[in-house]
Amino acid sequence: MNGSLDGLKVFMKEVLPNLSDNVEAGLAVPYTMLATLKEEAKNSNFVVSSQNMHYDDKGAFTGELSADMLIDVGINTVIIGHSERRTYYNETDETVNLKLLKALSKSLMPIVCVGETLEEREKSLEKEVCKRQVSKAFENVDSLEAEKVVIAYEPIWAIGTGKTASSQDAEDMAKYIRSVIADIYDKDTAEKVRIQYGGSVKPSNVEEIMKMPNIDGALVGGASLKADDFIELIRKGGVKCQ
Ligand code: PEP
């Protein structure tokens, strides 16, 4: 819940000339900004994503948006199960699964967020928690659909706190999550699923994180609000492609 339409236009004027063919970059913005961002990003490969959607097609769900409503304004990507939605808006593993199934059935690219709380990490429960979240999210998703999903590993204790998981911790969890996907499907599917790390990623640490073999991208909050930082993230985040 940041920014304004005017601010977004200024941001995009700075960012668009700095996109790279090597790095898939995009923004997930509040609903009111989707159509404007889509317009600003036209003729580019910039990804425009929603931060949420409802799992039902239509009905009495005041304040919600459906997959078709996103598609209506040209959106093809959606974040599902961000920890703030789980914490403040009763998002559960079950609703994440319903949303994932809906997004895939509508050909929206889903970015599914998983991650443990500080309390869970202190009890060494991070793998158990992520396994539960991933297994439930992918229930009834077949392997051809599963490979289109992006998973964002976002330890809750690292989001917006300035505390980043060490690149090795992030890698260990990304590798573990890939093994969970391999157990549900197969190795080939697990290799195709893209796994991002999120949690206080910034220009000063993105390079180290992106060098990790199982980390395919970053989901960035605070550091994506400023155009200069965003441009640096794209530049340094391209380390894998060099
Ligand atoms: C987020 O909001 O998902 C996030 C990772 O935020 P930050 O980068 O600020 O920790």
pLDDT in tens, 230-239: 999 999 998 7
154 is catalytic: yes
pLDDT, average across residues 218-235: 97
Task: Give the separation between CA 111 and CA 134, rounded to whole angstroms.
Answer: 12
Judged against a pLDDT cut of 60, whether residue 242 lies above it is answered with: no
Task: Give the separation between CA 55 and CA 152, rounded to whole angstroms.
Answer: 19
Ligand 1, CB cutoff 6 Å, lining residues: 154, 159-160, 198-201, 219-223
N- to C-terminal Cα separation, the chain:
34
54 is catalytic: no
Distance 164 CA to ligand 1 centre (A): 10
Judged against a pLDDT cut of 60, whether residue 206 lies above it is answered with: yes
pTM over 0.85: yes
> Are the C-beta atoms of 203 and 236 separated by less than 8 Å?
yes
Question: 13 by DSSP, 3-state: which?
Answer: helix
Lowest mean pLDDT among 100-109, 110-119, 154-163, 182-191: 154-163
Judged against a pLDDT cut of 80, whether residue 241 lies above it is answered with: no
Distance 89 CA to ligand 1 centre (A): 17
Distance 118 CA to ligand 1 centre (A): 15
Strand partners, 194: 150
Give tens-digit pLDDT for 123-169: 999 999 999 999 999 999 999 999 999 999 999 999 988 888 899 99
